[in-house]
């Protein structure tokens, strides 16, 4: 038997792959008419009306950078590596922040403390610490992963630069400044004989 043409096949035999498509307007199904406008004002006049309405509202332009913008207290800005009250670094070089970073923007190299050169209360410290702000997405996962609360985020958001190399911040740029009573590391531990005296000590009572 000769095969029947594809157009003469039974619709039940065609299968679900073939779908009948409408052939346009018919007597039983007339063509759809364009929707009537519900407004008598022309569309261009409506657009100009929105423009003129905005012209008489209060101006909300911020005079930046002459008037710096005030951010929220928990704003995610530039990172800061904090210190203990005696000046020793809180970072112990564990690299958990680098592992938690989804953008691979943090690079850490740990170093060993010695009695002659002590930078942190623990056995190790962050010898090399870099954050590439060309990759950083300011998600805050790094500060959540830090076990010593060494890494926090400040309100500083002015990080624009015209040189890609300058947007890779080093440890010296990220370290918190020395406050009164702090001593520049390396130096021996001042707050106790063990690292537990630093991380588990009683909070200071302020008068």
Token pair of 146 as six digits: 């830090």
**167 assigned binding-site residue:** no
Which residue has 């004989």 as its token pair?
193
**Is 79 exposed, middle or buried, given 0-12, 13-18 or 19+ CB atoms closer than 10 A?**
buried
Contact 87, 187 (CB under 8 A): yes
Which residue has 């691979």 as its token pair?
104
**67 assigned binding-site residue:** no
Contact 185, 111 (CB under 8 A): no
Which of 22, 23, 5 shows the shortest CA–CA distance to 14?
5
Distance from C-alpha of 84 to C-alpha of 178, rounded to nearest angstrom: 10
**172 assigned binding-site residue:** no
Q: What is the DSSP letter of 192?
A: -
Residue 131's SS3 state is: strand
Distance from C-alpha of 145 to C-alpha of 147, rounded to nearest angstrom: 6
Which residue has 């909070």 as its token pair?
203
**136 assigned binding-site residue:** yes
**142 assigned binding-site residue:** yes
**23 assigned binding-site residue:** no
Which of 93, 173, 83 shows the shortest CA–CA distance to 131?
173
Q: Which residues participate in the annotated binding site for [4Fe-4S] cluster?
A: 91, 94, 97, 101, 136, 139, 142, 146
Annotated binding site: 91, 94, 97, 101, 136, 139, 142, 146
């Amino acid at each position: 038997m000769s095969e029947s043409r594809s157009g003469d096949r039974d619709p039940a035999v065609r299968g679900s792959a073939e779908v009948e498509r409408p052939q346009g307007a018919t007597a039983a199904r007339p063509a759809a008419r364009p929707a009537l406008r519900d407004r008598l004002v022309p569309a261009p006049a409506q657009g100009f009306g929105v423009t003129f309405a905005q012209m008489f509202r209060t101006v909300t332009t911020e005079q930046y950078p002459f008037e710096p913008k005030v951010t929220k207290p928990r704003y995610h800005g530039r990172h800061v590596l904090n210190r203990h009250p005696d000046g020793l670094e809180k970072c112990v070089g564990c690299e958990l922040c680098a592992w938690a970073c989804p953008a691979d923007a943090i690079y850490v190299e740990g170093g060993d403390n010695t009695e002659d050169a002590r930078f942190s209360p623990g056995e190790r410290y962050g010898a090399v610490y870099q954050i590439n702000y060309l990759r950083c997405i300011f998600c805050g996962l790094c500060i959540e992963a830090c076990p010593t609360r060494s890494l926090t985020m400040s309100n500083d958001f002015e990080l624009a630069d015209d040189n890609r190399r300058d947007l890779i911040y080093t440890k010296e740029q990220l370290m918190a400044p020395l406050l009164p009573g702090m001593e520049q590391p390396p130096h021996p531990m001042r707050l106790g004989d063990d690292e537990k005296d630093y991380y588990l000590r009683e909070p200071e009572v302020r008068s």
